[in-house]
């Protein structure tokens, strides 16, 4: 599908100054622990590293992204249809509302934005649950407004489910997942126009293509440092896996392989979800128990455990050695020895 040129302005809600029930935790509180599974993990994280809670009382925090120029992290609270901002020395503030649902009819469920990314032009790109699309904010990062440009919303004339997470290739192509978690009845929502959950690519020219529909619940997505491997997490209780797909010259993917199956961790809270990649290709992948540190070869090295379900994570800070984690109702961070991809 061609990239629509229509700009959609959402005027139903304004960005309020108050943060309602959400609050910064100042000074930060420490929680959890670092669980080392393989000693190789100690090259990536100190086993005694402190996990800090920076802000709390969100309904379901997700999709963190670091803004280098502003020195802050943005993240979604999906049920509250909002994006929040946290910055050292300034604390917590509401950044954008609405973030994922711009309709006039009030609705429940998880309508807000989910995964967030910054493209090469410095624009905020987001997966919008309620509007069932991938879009970019048509306003500067420094002056956010709920005005969105649609990137992808239909496949062959049929509405997407509820785009969940995304990653941007150096070419400008966007890869994203499309499970139905943002629909009012999720997998049982009878208003769905697609009968599968896909992984997609939007070309730099704006053409949408389906890469695979073989996963039951595709969720988090990431690219290896050389962009030759696309990782996709499946948040499925029967088959909680991280897949690795070889990226072809035309941007498509092969049939893939299971990088790691974490079914044996099933009693722990959480499921495979968002991921961040360090500069050496190690995966910091949310999953049962916390953030799993996984080698490029698929070996589970350690788990960063906060005691809560963790939805997503991103590297940030001045040196890229701080891992920010959206852990259920918390925004957390932990210092690591490695640095995020791109730092």
343 vs 41: CA distance, rounded Å: 20
Rounded CA-CA distance 99/129 in Å is 9
Can 77 be counted among the known catalytic residues? no
pLDDT of residue 21: 80
* Torsional sign, CA 89, 91, 95, 100: positive
* Catalytic position from the list 131, 273, 278, 328: 273
Mean pLDDT of 281-300: 98
pLDDT at 12 exceeding the cut of 50: no
Examine the pLDDT at 10 and tell me if it is beyond 70: no
Q: Please tell me which residue, 73 or 17, carries the higher pLDDT value.
A: 73
Predicted local confidence at residue 7, as pLDDT: 35
Whole-angstrom distance, CA of residue 231 vs CA of residue 226: 12
Q: Which residue has the higher pLDDT, 15 or 192?
A: 192
Superfamily classification of domain 22-335? TolB, C-terminal domain (2.120.10.30)
Residue ranges for the known binding site for substrate are 164
The reported pLDDT for the residue numbered 6 is 33
Q: Edge-to-edge strands of the sheet including 91-96?
A: 61-67, 72-77, 82-87, 91-96
Each residue's pLDDT tens digit, 227-283: 999 999 999 999 999 999 999 999 999 999 999 999 999 899 999 999 999 999 999
SS3 sequence of 221-267: EEECCCCCEEEEEECCCCCCEEEEEEECCCCCECCCEEEEECHHHCC
| Residue ranges at the known binding site for a divalent metal cation | 62, 219, 273
Mean pLDDT of 27-45: 97
pLDDT band at 20 (very low <50, low <70, confident <90, very high): low
Instruction: Please report, rounded to a whole number, the percentage of residues in the chain having pLDDT higher than 70.
Output: 94
Domain boundary assignment for the chain: 22-335
């Amino acid at each position: 599908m061609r990239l629509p040129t229509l700009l959609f302005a959402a005027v139903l809600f304004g960005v309020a100054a108050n943060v309602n029930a959400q609050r910064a935790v100042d000074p930060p509180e420490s929680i959890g622990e670092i669980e080392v599974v393989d000693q190789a993990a100690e090259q990536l994280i100190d086993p005694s590293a402190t996990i800090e809670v920076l802000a709390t009382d969100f309904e379901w925090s997700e999709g963190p992204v670091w803004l280098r120029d502003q020195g802050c992290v943005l993240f979604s609270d999906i049920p509250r249809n909002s994006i929040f901002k946290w910055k050292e020395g300034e604390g917590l503030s509401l950044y954008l509302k609405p973030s994922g649902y711009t309709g006039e009819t009030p609705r429940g469920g998880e309508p807000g934005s989910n995964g967030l990314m910054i493209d090469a032009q410095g624009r905020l790109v987001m997966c919008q649950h309620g509007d069932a699309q991938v879009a970019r904010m048509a306003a500067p990062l420094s002056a956010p407004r709920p005005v969105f440009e649609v990137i992808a919303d239909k496949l062959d004339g049929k509405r997407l489910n509820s785009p969940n997470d995304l990653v941007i290739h150096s070419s400008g192509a966007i890869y994203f997942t499309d499970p139905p978690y943002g629909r009012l009845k999720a997998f049982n929502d009878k208003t769905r126009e697609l009968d599968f959950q896909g992984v997609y690519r939007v070309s730099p020219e704006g053409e949408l293509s389906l890469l695979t529909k073989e996963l039951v619940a595709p969720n988090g997505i990431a690219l290896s440092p050389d962009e030759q491997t696309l990782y996709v997490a499946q948040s499925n209780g029967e088959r909680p896996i991280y897949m690795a797909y070889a990226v072809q010259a035309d941007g498509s993917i092969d049939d893939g392989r299971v990088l790691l199956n974490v079914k044996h961790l099933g009693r722990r809270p959480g499921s495979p979800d968002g991921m961040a990649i360090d500069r050496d290709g190690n995966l910091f992948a949310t999953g049962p128990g916390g953030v799993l540190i996984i080698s490029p070869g698929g070996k589970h090295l350690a788990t960063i455990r906060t005691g809560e379900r963790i939805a997503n994570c991103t590297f940030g800070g001045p040196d890229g050695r701080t891992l920010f984690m959206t852990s259920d109702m918390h925004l957390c961070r932990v210092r690591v020895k490695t640095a995020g991809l791109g730092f």
